[in-house]
Structure 1
Amino acid sequence: MADKNIVILDEANFEGEVLNSNIPVMIDFWAEWCGPCQTVMPIVDELANEFEGVAKIAKLNVDENRSLAMKYRVMSIPTILFFKNGEEVKREVGAKSKEEYVELIDSLV
């Protein structure tokens, strides 16, 4: 179950939640079957609580949103994209530590 502060992205809300966001957005591209994605999931939950109101933390299931994964050229997961002012500004592929994600978010806010 996703944390209440995490935005679950899909085709219908991507533009409004990400491209039109007035705060930075971190998107976790993931899938249920992905082991490293499961490792990152609790970290993403913690980040959503810690950065509430400062940065938007979101998840996008690549199996349910293949066209968005293709549009943003997500070739392996987990891939974390960082958006600011509607533009992708950073990309991290593979599981990272919470501290690494915190540094990345801090650099955008």
Structure 2
Amino acid sequence: MLELDKETFEAEVLQAPGKVIVDFYGDGCVPCAALMPHVHEFAEKYGGDGLKFCALNTTKARRLAIGQKILGLPVIAVYENGEMIDSCVKDDATPENVEAMIKKYA
């Protein structure tokens, strides 16, 4: 699981070949903290084979998050060729929904 910041986001996500799963989380976000172990598990299970897993702390990259239209947390997003093509947001970001979305692109 690659930890991103505002300096690395563009190269690792927007310019990356293949599909990239990004876990947008924030400091003090309880649902984010509850979801994170599941996302790390999915990264081990589905990572590789053209599917890269990254995480971005939006507390440290607020402008970047807003630029990506991340307005509530947690958000698990799928990017392909620099475009967000799917996401699970807030109440929909359950481990089951996130895994189903990942399987769709794995």
The TM-score range, normalised by the shorter chain, is 0.7 to 0.9
Q: Offset at 1:97?
A: 3.3
Aligned to 1:66: 62
5 Å matches for 1:21-100? 21-54=16-49, 55-94=51-90, 96-100=93-97
Aligned to 1:3: none
Report the count of equivalent residues.
104
Stretches of 4+ aligned residues off by more than 4 angstroms: none
**Contact 2:76–2:98 at 8 Å: present in 1 too?**
no
Of the structure 1 ranges 98-107 and 63-72, higher mean CA displacement relative to structure 2 is found in 98-107
Can you list the C-alpha shifts for 1:85-108, whole angstroms capped at 9, x where unaligned? 221101211253333222212222
Gaps of at least 5 residues in structure 2 are none
* TM-score relative to the length of structure 2: 0.87
> Does 2:104 correspond to 1:107?
yes
- Which AA in structure 1 matches 2:86? K
Can you list the C-alpha shifts for 1:35-69, whole angstroms capped at 9, x where unaligned? 10011010111011112213111111011011111
- Cα-Cα RMSD: 1.4
Q: Percent identity?
A: 32
5 Å matches for 1:9-28? 9-28=4-23
**Contact 1:84–1:108 at 8 Å: present in 2 too?**
no
Separation (CA, whole Å) in 1 of partners of 2:86 and 2:17:
17
Can you list the C-alpha shifts for 1:11-58, whole angstroms capped at 9, x where unaligned? 111111111222211111111201100110101110111122131111
